[in-house]
């Protein structure tokens, strides 16, 4: 790169040339830009300011509109800002405001130039500096330039004053201590005669109050005056926004502002102001019926307007008001429902939200029916909005609105078949969630799941894979409710499952595993039952006792009982074994049927279960082997492993099932025993109850005595090395009995943690620490099926007939929205398992931003806390203020606490909270001291003195009022509002 020459500056391209060039080089734009950038890089180093200015201007243009990195031009821009020419300054400050950010290094170099320009006599230079500052301001700039801004806040030139006011918001944000200096002067501007100034200052307060309204309550009288007196719509809108934030904090204030707001509503022709009035009423004054009525009447005017913007906003206002005043929507229901088919997406969405806000348990099913029909005929985006809101509404508060779960489950199935449906994930989780929570719905769930699984079309739609995964899981888990497990198995193993992502295939295979287990188990044990029913009563009973706890087992199998059962069963098997031959004979007769064939003895009362013939079982095994055989070599570990699991099980049992008729009796008995036992164990493992577990379950496990969870355990590693045993001192107070402890740990898990001994606790703690695992009490036995991986996405279409139309829905909601007596429910609502109050509720911890905190702390100090400061200190110079008043403020902090009851009232906790903050401010103040400007303090001293006197005067009045009010105001933290307003 060569240095800038005279030629460069003579033949430099201007911005206009550059733009023309860009328009000519549309095709090779990027090469043109990089060529230009090379030129610019050279030009910005030119000593000639004109050349530099043109270069900076060009690079700013490229940065702003073509996304070019212009950091190299930062310093030249700063140089340019120092130029005496206005044009150069303009270019420089524009460049700075486009590309500088709070961490730009050269920003520091700009400080002096900004100060100079803020003090300039040319108002446009001042406004250039303000414009730049309002974008690039950082802590250093804010701190160093606060005095200048302070001066400008009372500039005699309106143009400057309003710009300074708008800038101050940014300054406060970066440097909360500026509040102490500037706040009073800012407040004084509320009373300005210039509407633009008032507008600017009210905007600033609107921003501040929206972040932390409490601190601004004491200013309510000033705002109230503006609300009553002003006729400027911009000002009124902002003031209304402030009151919307303040009114909820102070009921007396709300009462007071209703009248003027109503006045504005009757008077104004401006829709914007009207809408703001409506919004203020529906958000913050919804307790005042007459006001709400007026607002809703005005909303109706919006709704019938032709302008879609007004319609949209009207609906929005309705949706704000609906939780408290549902009549407002009922009055407009016809319009709302017609809006569902509006062309405007905004309007449709708002209408949908309103419709969903109106549903009750009585009309849920009808509304859902109609909405699904809308979903069928609308565009994909809105279709999914509808589905999403139906899903969200129905699942709200653990499905509190749903009474008929069978219906809901079938609706879920139906949603899946809507062509544009992309809500697979949500439907998936609801299907499983309902399955676990609502026991009564499981048969229907399995039925819906089966319908989904056997539908080959669904497999092609990646959006629905998650639903299929849920359907597969449900079918496997609750296969005992299936009417036809073999059909289910065929669906799970159909060749088109190859279209599924491997993670979901794994779920399919696992479900097939469960179905197989179920089939084999029923086959083997049904035979016994059959045998027993045909022979002796004793065996019948035992068969029944076998099947009931597992198949209908409500509480989840518990290891101890099943072991007991298993052992008793072994004894019985001996008794039964000699009968088995005849059973086999029985079954072979039915070999012809491949599908479910009710066995000859299925009438046997104890077993309402399906009967499998030997042939059907063998076919089933063959089917599985053919389908899963190839997968045993799959590259996907999940698929491969699960396939092997199934194949392994088949290998174990297949031989004997195939061979039984041909075997001699003795051998058969042996095999039979083995297979039954295997199947029994598998069955027990799979068909225990899988219930939902509360998120907070772990927290509710009582922490045993002597378990110190918060202890730092780092030293343990040195004590026990890598091997095992925890050192007793850090875990338990009891004596260590390590030989026993392994046994007690086992008990611990088995016995649902009744009395955890100190040893077991220590073992458990050790285990937890090692593996980062936390065991829950035995609610969950099985975790195999909980992994539902994400699906990919695309679309598919199924044609479904569309019948209903708007009128139907209008009529329907007309009926349903009229408050009516609860219709007699044909079905009682099934039990929905809820874990605790907190199920589904999220605690939103919203901590306010620390900066906001600081601002409001400072504001409060200015508005309330300053009373303690003796008047004499008020007229001091700034630089002295920083040292002297700081000290006095410190006293002031203590004073109100002890002396005046009103402050103790107003902010007990506030003071407590903020004292550390204040001490921080004090240190800030000390830092600031050396930088404090001396020259300007002279100028503003007089003015500030006057201001402060005035301010003081008011504050004395305030104080008097506040102490009068003190007794009424019981609520801590609510700053006191002067009486004359209320």
Q: How many angstroms separate the CA atoms of 552 and 565, rounded? A: 15
Nearer to another protein, 301 or 699 (CB): 301
Residues 226-255 touching another protein, rule: CB under 8 A, are 233-234, 237-238, 241
| Residue 140 CA, distance from chain mean position | 36
Query: Under the criterion CB under 8 A, does residue 343 sit at the interface with another protein?
Result: yes
* Residue selected from 4, 8, 15, 378 as contacting another protein according to rule CB under 8 A: 15
Query: Does 124 participate in binding another protein (rule CB under 8 A)?
Result: yes
- For another protein, the binding residues in 180-219 under the rule CB under 8 A are 196, 199-200, 203-204, 206-207, 210
Task: Count how many residues are written for the chain.
Answer: 982
Give Cβ neighbours of residue 682 (< 8 Å, ≥ 6 apart).
517, 520, 521, 649
By beta-carbon proximity to another protein, the closer residue of 240 and 479 is: 240
Using CB under 8 A, pick the residue from 5, 30, 112, 272 that binds another protein. 272
CA distance 292 to 314: 14
* Residue 129 C-beta: closest distance to another protein, Å: 12
Nearer to another protein among residue 389 and residue 416 (C-beta) = 389
- Taking the complex as a whole, the smallest distance from the CB of residue 67 to another protein amounts, in Å, to 4
First to last CA, the chain: 73
* φ/ψ of residue 212, rounded to 5: -155, 85
Minimum Å distance from CB 780 to another protein?
A: 36
Q: C-beta of 622: minimal distance to another protein in Å?
A: 52
- Minimum CB–partner distance for residue 271 and another protein (Å): 5
Compute the least distance from the CB of residue 979 to another protein, in Å: 29
CB of 119 to another protein, least distance (A): 18
Identity of the residue, 77 or 650, whose beta carbon is nearer to another protein in the bound complex: 77
Pick out residues in 300-319 that bind another protein (CB under 8 A): 308-309, 311-313
67 to 106, contacts with another protein by CB under 8 A? 67-69, 85-88, 90-91, 94, 100-102
3-state SS, residue 519: helix
Q: Which 761-790 residues touch another protein, going by CB under 8 A?
A: none
Number of residues interacting with another protein: please give it, by CB under 8 A: 79
Give the CA dihedral 892, 898, 904, 910, nearest 10 degrees.
50
Least separation in angstroms between CB 189 and another protein: 13
713 contributes a contact to another protein by CB under 8 A: no
C-alpha 529/C-alpha 676 separation (Å) is: 13
By CB under 8 A, residue 275 contacts another protein: yes
Instruction: Determine the interface stretch with another protein among 145-153, 268-276, 293-301, 705-713 (rule: CB under 8 A).
Output: 268-276
Are the beta carbons of 192 and 204 closer than 8 angstroms?
no
Q: Which stretch binds another protein (CB under 8 A): 16-24, 450-458, 509-517, 955-963?
A: 16-24
Q: Determine, following the binding rule CB under 8 A, whether residue 34 of this chain makes contact with another protein.
A: no
Selected range binding another protein among 155-163, 321-329, 497-505, 789-797, rule: CB under 8 A: 155-163
Q: Is 533 exposed, middle or buried (0-12, 13-18, 19+ CB in 10 A)?
A: buried
Per-residue tokens: 518: 């179920």
- Output the CA–CA distances (angstroms, integers) from residue 570 to 562, 668, 716, in the order listed: 12, 15, 47
From the CB of 24, what's the least distance to another protein, in Å? 7
Indicate the residue among 121 and 712 with the shorter CB distance to another protein.
121
Is 672:656 a contact under the CB 8 Å cutoff?
A: yes
C-alpha span between 930 and 193 (Å, rounded): 37
The Cα 496–Cα 453 span in angstroms is 11
Residue 209 buriedness (CB in 10 A; 0-12 / 13-18 / 19+):
buried
Binder of another protein out of 9, 155, 268, 900 (CB under 8 A): 9
Nearer to another protein, 353 or 642 (CB): 353
According to CB under 8 A, which one of 55, 78, 126, 136 is a site residue for another protein?
136
Query: What is the closest distance, in whole angstroms, from the C-beta atom of residue 525 to another protein in the complex?
Result: 56
Binding status of residue 113 toward another protein by CB under 8 A: no
Residue 50 or 879 with smaller CB distance to another protein: 50
Shortest CB 17 distance to another protein, Å: 4
Q: Which residue stretch of 344-352, 355-363, 388-396, 945-953 sits at the interface with another protein (rule: CB under 8 A)?
A: 344-352
**Residue 268 interacts with another protein (CB under 8 A)?**
no
**Three-state secondary structure call for residue 101:** coil
Answer for the pair 896, 865: CB distance below 8 angstroms, yes or no. Answer: yes
User: Closest distance between another protein and the C-beta of residue 6, in Å?
Assistant: 10
Please pick, from the candidates 177, 250, 276, 414, the single residue that binds another protein as defined by CB under 8 A. 276
What the block records as the tokens of 416 is 């899946």
Q: Does 855 bind another protein (CB under 8 A)?
A: no
Work out which of 119, 346, 494, 969 binds another protein, going by CB under 8 A: 346
SS3 of 609, please? coil
Say how far apart CA 701 and CA 321 lie, in whole Å.
43
How many CB atoms neighbour CB 248 within 10 A?
16
Task: Write the CA distances from 790 to 34, 339, 365, 390, 879, integer angstroms.
Answer: 43, 35, 30, 22, 63
User: What gap in Å lies between CA 31 and CA 949, rounded to an integer?
Assistant: 65
Q: Shortest distance, CB of residue 353 to another protein, whole angstroms?
A: 12
On whether the CB atoms of residues 626 and 492 are closer than 8 A, the answer is no
Stretch that binds another protein, among 130-138, 482-490, 780-788, 847-855 (CB under 8 A): 130-138
Integer Cα distance of 134 and 207 in angstroms: 15
Count the Cβ atoms, other than its own, within 10 Å of residue 93. Answer: 28
Structure tokens belonging to residue 837:
């109050």
Question: In this structure, how many other beta carbons lie within 10 angstroms of the beta carbon of residue 672?
Answer: 22
Q: Would you say 166 or 812 has its CB closer to another protein?
A: 166
Tokens of 108: 């520091």
Residue (279 or 959) nearer to another protein, CB? 279
User: Closer to another protein at the Cβ: 239 or 765?
Assistant: 239
For another protein, give the closer residue by CB, 388 or 777.
Answer: 388
Question: Rule CB under 8 A: is residue 61 a binding residue for another protein?
Answer: yes
């Amino acid at each position: 790169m060569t240095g800038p020459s005279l030629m460069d500056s003579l033949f430099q391209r201007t911005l206009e040339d550059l733009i023309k060039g860009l328009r000519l080089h549309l095709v090779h734009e990027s090469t043109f830009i990089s060529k230009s950038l090379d030129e610019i890089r050279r030009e910005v180093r030119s000593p000639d300011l004109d050349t530099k200015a043109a270069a900076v201007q060009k690079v700013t243009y490229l940065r702003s509109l073509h996304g070019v990195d212009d950091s190299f031009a930062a310093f030249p821009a700063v140089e340019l800002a120092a130029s005496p020419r206005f044009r150069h300054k303009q270019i420089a400050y524009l460049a700075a405001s486009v590309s500088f950010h709070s961490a730009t290094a050269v920003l520091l170099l700009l400080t002096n130039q900004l100060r100079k320009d803020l003090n300039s006599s040319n108002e446009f230079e001042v406004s250039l500096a303000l414009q730049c500052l309002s974008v690039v301001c950082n802590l250093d700039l804010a701190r160093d330039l606060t005095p200048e801004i302070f001066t400008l806040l009372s500039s005699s030139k309106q143009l400057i004053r309003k710009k300074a006011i708008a800038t101050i918001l940014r300054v406060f944000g970066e440097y909360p201590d500026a509040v102490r200096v500037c706040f009073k002067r800012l407040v004084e501007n509320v009373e300005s005669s210039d509407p633009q100034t008032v507008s600017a200052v009210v905007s600033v307060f609107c921003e501040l109050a929206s972040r932390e309204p409490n601190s601004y309550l004491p200013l309510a009288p000033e705002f109230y005056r503006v609300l009553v007196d002003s006729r400027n719509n911009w000002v009124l809108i902002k003031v209304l926004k402030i009151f919307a934030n303040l009114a909820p904090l102070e009921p007396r204030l709300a009462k007071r502002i209703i009248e003027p707001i109503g006045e504005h509503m009757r008077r104004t022709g401006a829709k914007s102001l009207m809408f703001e009035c409506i919004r203020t009423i529906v958000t913050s004054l919804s307790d005042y019926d007459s006001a709400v009525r007026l607002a809703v009447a005005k909303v109706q005017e919006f709704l019938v307007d032709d302008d879609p913007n007004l319609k949209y906003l009207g609906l929005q206002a309705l949706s704000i008001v609906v939780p408290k005043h549902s009549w407002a929507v009922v009055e407009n229901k016809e319009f709302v429902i017609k809006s569902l088919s509006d062309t405007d997406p905004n309007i449709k969405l708002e209408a949908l939200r309103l419709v969903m806000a109106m549903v009750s348990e009585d009309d849920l099913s009808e509304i859902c029916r109609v909405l699904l029909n809308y979903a069928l005929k609308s565009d994909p985006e809105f279709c999914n909005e509808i589905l999403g809101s139906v899903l969200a509404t129905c699942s709200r508060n653990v499905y509190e609105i749903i009474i008929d779960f069978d219906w809901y489950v079938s609706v879920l199935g139906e949603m899946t078949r809507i062509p544009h449906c992309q809500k697979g994930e949500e439907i998936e989780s609801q299907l499983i969630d309902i399955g676990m929570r609502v026991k009564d719905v499981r048969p229907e769930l399995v039925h819906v799941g089966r319908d989904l699984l056997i539908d080959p079309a669904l497999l092609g739609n990646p959006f629905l894979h998650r639903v299929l995964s849920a359907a597969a899981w449900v079918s496997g888990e609750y296969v005992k409710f299936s009417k036809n497990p073999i059909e289910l198995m065929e669906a799970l193993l159909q060749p088109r499952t190859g279209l599924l992502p491997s993670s979901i295939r794994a779920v399919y295979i696992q479900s097939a595993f469960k179905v197989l287990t179920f089939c084999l188990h029923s086959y083997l044990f049904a035979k016994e039952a059959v045998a027993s029913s045909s022979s002796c009563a004793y065996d019948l009973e035992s068969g029944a006792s076998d099947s009931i706890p597992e198949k209908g087992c409500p509480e989840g199998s518990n290891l101890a009982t099943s072991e007991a059962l298993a052992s008793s069963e072994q004894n019985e098997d001996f008794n039964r074994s000699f009968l088995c031959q005849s059973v086999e004979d029985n079954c072979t007769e039915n070999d012809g049927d491949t599908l479910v064939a009710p066995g000859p003895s299925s009438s046997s009362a104890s077993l309402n279960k399906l009967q499998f013939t030997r042939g059907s079982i063998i076919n089933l095994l063959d089917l599985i082997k053919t389908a899963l055989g190839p997968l045993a070599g799959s590259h996907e570990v999940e698929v491969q492993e699960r396939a092997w699991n199934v194949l392994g099980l088949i290998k174990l049992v297949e031989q004997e099932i195939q061979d039984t008729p041909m075997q001699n009796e003795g051998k058969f008995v042996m095999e039979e025993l083995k297979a039954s036992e295997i199947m029994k164990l598998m069955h027990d493992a799979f068909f225990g109850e899988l219930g939902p577990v509360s998120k907070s379950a772990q927290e509710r496990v009582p922490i045993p005595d002597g378990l110190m969870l918060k202890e730092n355990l780092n030293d343990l590693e040195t004590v026990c090395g890598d091997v095992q045993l925890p050192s007793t001192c850090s875990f338990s107070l009891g004596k260590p009995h390590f030989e026993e402890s392994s046994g007690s740990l086992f008990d611990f898990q088995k016995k649902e943690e009744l009395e955890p001994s100190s040893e077991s606790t220590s073992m458990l703690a050790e285990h937890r620490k090692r593996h980062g695992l936390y065991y829950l009490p035995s609610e969950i036995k099985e975790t195999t099926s909980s992994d539902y991986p994400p699906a990919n996405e695309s679309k598919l279409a199924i044609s479904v007939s569309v019948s209903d139309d708007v009128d139907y829905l209008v009529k329907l909601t007309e009926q349903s929205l009229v408050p009516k007596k609860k219709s007699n429910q044909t079905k009682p609502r099934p039990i929905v398992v809820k874990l605790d109050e907190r199920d589904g509720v999220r605690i939103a911890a919203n901590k306010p931003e620390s900066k906001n905190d600081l601002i409001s702390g400072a504001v409060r100090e200015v508005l309330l806390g300053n009373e303690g400061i003796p008047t004499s200190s008020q007229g001091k110079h700034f630089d002295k203020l920083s040292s002297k008043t700081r000290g006095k403020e410190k006293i002031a902090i203590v004073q109100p606490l002890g002396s005046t009851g009103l402050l103790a009232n107003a902010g007990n906790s506030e003071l407590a909270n903020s004292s550390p903050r204040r001490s921080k401010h004090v240190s800030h103040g000390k830092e600031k001291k050396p930088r404090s400007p001396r020259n300007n303090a002279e100028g503003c001293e007089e003015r500030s003195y006057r201001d402060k006197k005035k301010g003081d005067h008011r504050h004395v009045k305030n104080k008097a009022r506040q102490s009068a009010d003190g007794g009424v105001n019981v609520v801590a933290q609510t700053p006191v509002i002067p009486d004359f307003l209320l």
